[in-house]
Amino acid sequence: MTIHRKVFQCLLAALPLALSFSVWSAPERSELDRLAAESQTQVVNWRRHFHSNPELSNREFETAKYLQAALRDMDIEVVESGIAHTGVVGLLEGGQPGPLVAIRADMDGLPVTEQTGLDFASVVTSEYQGKDVGVMHACGHDTHMAMALGAARVLSAIRDELPGSVLFIFQPAEEGAPLGEEGGAELMLKEGLFERHKPEVIFGMHVGLNMPAGQMAVRGGPIMAAVDYLLIDVNGVQTHGARPWGGVDPIVASAQVILGLQTIASRQLNLTKVPYIITIGKIDAGVRNNIIPDKVEMHGTIRSFDLEMQDDIHARIKRTAENIAASSGATADVTITKQYPATVNDPDLTAQMLPTLARVSGERPLVTPDLVTGAEDFSFFAREVPGLYVFLSNIAPGETLAGSPSNHSPFFDMHEPSMEIGVRAFTHLVVDYLQQQQ
């Protein structure tokens, strides 16, 4: 049975519960939509401010100040600032007793020089790994913050009727902390965020995924991959390039290791369970064409969706590299660093909230996406409490999917009217969940 069928069966079981709350008069859902529509101009303004003023991971100082001011303008208490360096957390207390739920948005931009030609395009530059770089919100985090603030604006307007409270988590360094630093969701948790403010559930959203305009996508269970950093040092014996028999060639051994790693995916593990990827993306070796060096460094990435399979892949990589290197007289030292775990949507929460997302989606069909081999550190939050992570299309009506720039492209942009759908999705998810707990 596939994950999709399981979620569908859970959805059928959850429909009586969902239908029992199909009309909520305080406030009525139409009022949520009206408030979202009224907030759209402000949401666009927020998005354009963030887009014009991006900051790199763990350096989101001005972004944090702006977020705090926006929350306070809505009479939302800023209960955390400076957490995980620059993180901001706001707490909206509802007028009626009930659980705490969370909305999370990421804050950081990327070392990408923008080429969109937008009137509000970023011209910001900064330093990244010792180099001067352009900085751009090339992954939509500007829209994530704006939509979360839009949800805060709508929900603050109905706070007296809310049967519970809402935690707004603005998280830095989703794209990864700079070398030698900690950051992101993992550091927020390490610094005790959920010890002080632990929600029952957490909702997140990401724009992109190359879908038709205004469409949303969600699936229960794994939705985005775990990511691990792979470093393999192949050690040989240096010699003259004209006398390879005088040493041990680590370059040839490395080439054989790279090919051997691909047999893990093609021949050693069950591909019908979930996909996984082993990629070598960088090789450092040698200083001259006629010198066989004594060492090769290979840097790569591993993507997987299943915890047991993740550990098995690591063991097989180590065995494969070490044994192939040994067969030519070389040695291999394998270091694998776990970065982000797989992002897993809680199946029960997904089934519970699917009717909400389908209602918000309206005429646009809510789709089940393929597994996404990109990674997200929302996964750390979703390991602590049930999480639901949703995708929203960024492209404009009539734009072809084939020609749409992908996330991390210098041409990446957001069709701003679709942000209203994102605000509605956040607010309806919160209101429906809180109401269903009564």
Tokens standing for residue 326: 């040994």
| DSSP 8-state symbol, 181 | -
Q: Give the C-alpha distances (Å, rounded to integers) separating 327 from 138, 248, 266.
A: 45, 11, 22
Tokens standing for residue 310: 């993740």
- 11: nearest Cα among 381, 352, 430, 316: 352
User: Strands 96-106 and 163-171: what pairing?
Assistant: parallel
- 36: nearest Cα among 425, 431, 430: 425
Q: Give the C-alpha distances (Å, rounded to integers) separating 192 from 22, 64, 198, 272, 338.
A: 37, 19, 10, 39, 21
CA gap 122, 124 in Å, rounded:
5
> How many C-alpha atoms does 390 have within 13 Å on its Cβ side?
33
Annotated catalytic residue, options 276, 340, 389, 433? 340
Using DSSP, state whether 340 is helix, strand or coil: strand
Tokens standing for residue 129: 């790994």
Name every residue whose Cβ is closer than 8 Å to that of residue 418 and which is 6 or more positions away in sequence.
207, 213, 214, 392, 393, 394
Active site residue 191: no
For 235, counting Cβ atoms within 10 Å of its Cβ (0-12 exposed, 13-18 middle, 19+ buried), the class is middle
What is the residue type of 51?
Answer: H
Q: How far is CA 277 from the centre of its chain?
A: 18
Taking CA 346 as the corner, what is the angle to CA 343 and CA 351, rounded to the nearest 5 degrees?
130
Active site residue 66: no
Please give the positions annotated as active site. Answer: 340, 416
